Structure 1
Amino acid sequence: MRAIANIYRLGVKEIYSLLCDPVLLGLIFYTFTFAIYTVANGVQTELRNASIAIVDEDRSGLSSRLAGAFLPPYFKTPEIIDLAAVDAAMDAGRYTFVLDIPPRFEADVLAGRAPAIQLNVDATAMTIAGNGATYVTGIVGAELLKFVGRAGGAVALPVDLRVRAKYNPNLESAWFMAVMQIINNLTILAIILSGAAVIREREHGTLEHLLVMPVTSGEIMLAKIWANGLVIVLAALLSLHVVVEGLLAVPVVGSTMLFALGAAVYLFAVTALGITLSTVATTMPQFGLLSIPVFVVMNLLSGGLTPLESMPATLQQVVQLLPSTHFVKFAQAVLYRGAGIGIVWPQLLATTAIGLLLFAFGLVRFRTALASAK
């Protein structure tokens, strides 16, 4: 009971210290409000306002029809350019797509000679290059089917394919980016706040005060974990309801309380990692530089932005050691698909196991740091 009381009182002290730090409070507010709203609205993964030019060497009714088929909001109004200007325009980055319609295109289509159309794609625009090429191919194919059908050709397809997109029916990137940004910010803040709590104790000279008190290193570490974790979970829940559901109008179909439980387990692991990093660094600048590659790798390899299935087989096994990998699976299942505890318990169990390992390692490091401070 005395240990629980010590952990509680030390945690309250951590919360008071955090409330008296306007920089960290401003960071929390910005991270769970403006950072989420601007990223969700600004980072577009679907095709929007893509620049396209058309080289019309045919000057026929069919080529004019193709040029008029590219409409907003997917494409900007197509510009007609000469064939000699294609390379210079692509090198200057003025167009993402350039469609080259060859001479006698309409006549060849009507004669059944299957003429070729060249589509030049600026592949440096990776976000829209692949999706945009699919859109262009689909638009050209649809217009050709309509044209051949009116000309008396056979255009009946043997299969009627109907696409049903579940959990995000309009394929809006804002729905995905808003929730994923909360998950990414949980990782960043958990590492920064927990590590800053230890660094702050060392820089203010209060770490020596803790050493003369009847508390253990484990109690000090657990206090920092629950205090900083509580602040982050509350901020994440408020952001989920106010920013994601309110301002961005993204529907959250799952249980927010189950998400809070998973976030608490995840924060137990990540805050322990943050405290471990703080025992390696001696100042806040060092800690900041050390933590950047850690949470960048955790976010990029968690499966949130890049599917795990597309990674090399060896890397897929390695990233299973990261708590962020399991938490991303958990959060997506709960918030997007409305999964219950019966579905996501393996991810919770894996995150807990990794958290216990990180806590044990961090406790050893923290005890070593306290012993060297005596």
Structure 2
Amino acid sequence: MRASNVLNLGVKELRGLQRDPMLLLLILYAFTVAIYTAASAMPETLNKAPIAIVDEDRSPLSARIAGAFQLPYFTRPQLITAAEMDRRMDAGLDTFALDIPPNFQRDLLAGHAPTIQLNVDATRMTQAFSGAGYIGSIVTSEVNEFSQRYRAETVVPVELVLRARFNPELNKGWFGAVMNVINSITMLAIVLTGAALIREREHGTIEHLLVMPITPVEIMVSKVWSMALVVLVAAAASLIFVVQGLLRVPIEGSVPLFLAGTALHLFATTSLGIVLATLAGSMPQFGLLLMLVLLPLQVLSGGMTPRESMPDIVQVIMLAAPNTHFVMLAQAILYRGAGFSVVWPQFLVLAGIGAALFTFALGRFRKSLK
């Protein structure tokens, strides 16, 4: 393998990418707009949930309950009639509709156990689950304070002191920004490398390369380093200008160390992109294969949900996936400020997986040329 051939072929790949406006737009979108919008919309905790109240009691207690729903958890409650409740929920105007029955305060003071109906639009899953608990807690608190005639703090024998490390504001946008960078790295590494190989095949230029004094390993290495370089530069720019600059997400660890781990991850994922390109005969087929491979990689890597919550067999299988170890590495460095002494096992495993995928991809690539 001659270094000059690998360099020149890699430069050719970069020039080919430069002439493809759609892929350039995809790179720009994935590392800017997609990350910003996903991180901004990331909080799935209760935030400005629309709520309506049917106050059939018109008592001081019902007014007190209605006044307890405030920003940022709920919007200002809309006072509606019972006839409007179902229509508004069918139209998607309200996520919660609280119906306070007539004589609610009187029955409570008489020692009875009156009931309040809460209708929930469960299609809005994230708000429905957490919001129902919030509403139950708010109503119970207001009713207890009203029945006891005073507001008192509950005294418990043990005091729990909460210390939130690495994300003291409990801002899920911080988590979402970094995880979307990680997902974009994995996606684009596979897409760009696979598209580069399929583009050669569709344009007929792969035959031109084969009649030149160039080996298959030189062709493959040139595609790996060139596409990996593009994704690495884009990821670094996104981390600095979008995540740290625009979103103001604090990065605890070393960005160069993270980029070093990213380079190893790209070595593995670009090789995976070549494997998929050798299996696919065209770009539409490559896109279908990409969905079958990319979605499980991202969903089961531990970036969206903790690996500990997955079945044991899934945890074992996903240890063979490069982005599982990349997520561990990235979270340790960027969130917790870990150094190389902590993440060296992930570096080692990524190097091993990358070597295995590269060897397999080279074998597939050679067979596809025959």
Report if TM-score (shorter chain) is over 0.5.
yes
CA contact (8 A) 2:268 2:322 kept: yes
CA distance 1:327–1:109, change in 2 (3 Å): farther
SS at match of 1:54: strand
Specify whether residues 244 and 155 from structure 1 end up closer, same or farther in structure 2 by C-alpha distance, changes over 3 A only: closer
Alignment of 1:215-364 (within 5 A): 215-364=214-363
Change (3 A) 1:340 1:156: same
Tell me by how many angstroms 1:124 deviates: 1.4
Deviation at 1:109, TM superposition (A): 5.4
Q: Which amino acid aligns with 1:215?
A: I
1:98-154 CA-partner distances (Å, limit 9, x unpaired): 234355544565677665544332221112222223332343344345445643888
Matches of 2:167 and 2:27 in 1, distance apart? 28
Which is worse superposed, 177-186 or 142-151?
Answer: 142-151
* Aligned twin of 2:71: 72
In structure 1, stretches of 5+ residues that fail to align are none
Equivalent-residue separation in structure 2 for 1:142 and 1:339 (angstroms): 43
> What is the CA deviation profile of residues 238-264 of structure 1, one whole-angstrom value per residue up to 9, with x for unaligned ones?
011111111111111111111101111
In structure 2, relative to structure 1, the CA distance for the partners of 1:42 and 1:216 (3 Å cut) is same
**Please, which moves more after superposition, 88-97 or 66-75?**
88-97
Larger deviation: 238-247 or 353-362?
A: 353-362
Structure 2: state its 5+ residue gaps: none
- Taking structure 2 as the reference length, what is the TM-score of the superposition? 0.90
- Write the mapping of 1:1-374 to structure 2, written as runs, cut at 5 A: 3-83=2-82, 86-106=85-105, 116-144=115-143, 146-147=145-146, 150-151=149-150, 155-371=154-370
Work out the percentage of aligned pairs sharing the same amino acid: 55
Q: Closer, same or farther in 2 for the Cα pair 1:39/1:155, shift >3 Å?
A: closer
Paired amino acid for 2:291: I
Distance 1:111 1:161 in 2: 37
Contact map agreement 1:148 1:155 (CA 8 A) in 2 = no
Residues 145 and 151 in structure 2, CA contact (< 8 A), matched pair in contact too: no
TM superposition shift of 1:197: 1.1
CA distance in structure 1 between the partners assigned to 2:321 and 2:360 by the alignment: 15
Equivalents in 1 of 2:159, 2:57: separation in Å?
32
User: 1:52 and 1:317 mapped to 2: Cα distance?
Assistant: 44
SS at match of 1:15: helix
Q: After superposition, what is the alpha-carbon deviation per residue over 1:195-222, rounded to whole angstroms, capped at 9, x for unaligned?
A: 1111121122221222123332222212
Secondary structure of the residue that 2:369 maps to in structure 1? helix
Q: TM-score, structure 1 length as denominator?
A: 0.89
Distance 1:316 1:98, change over 3 A: farther
Q: Residue 120 of structure 1: SS of its match in structure 2?
A: strand
> Higher mean Cα deviation, 27-36 or 145-154?
145-154
Q: Deviations over 1:127-184 (max 9, x none)?
A: 2222223332343344345445643888434444343332222222321221111111
The one-letter code sitting in structure 1 at the alignment partner of 2:20 is D
Q: Is the 2:333–2:339 Cα contact (8 Å) retained in structure 1?
A: yes
Q: Distance in 1 between matches of 2:222 and 2:178?
A: 28
- The alpha carbon displacement at 1:87 in A equals 4.4
- Write the letter of the residue equivalent to 1:190: A
Structure 2 CA distance for partners of 1:5 and 1:63, relative to 1, 3 Å:
same
Compared CA separation, residues 87 and 142, structure 1 to 2 (3 A): same
Is the 1:229–1:268 Cα contact (8 Å) retained in structure 2?
yes
3-state secondary structure, aligned to 1:282: coil
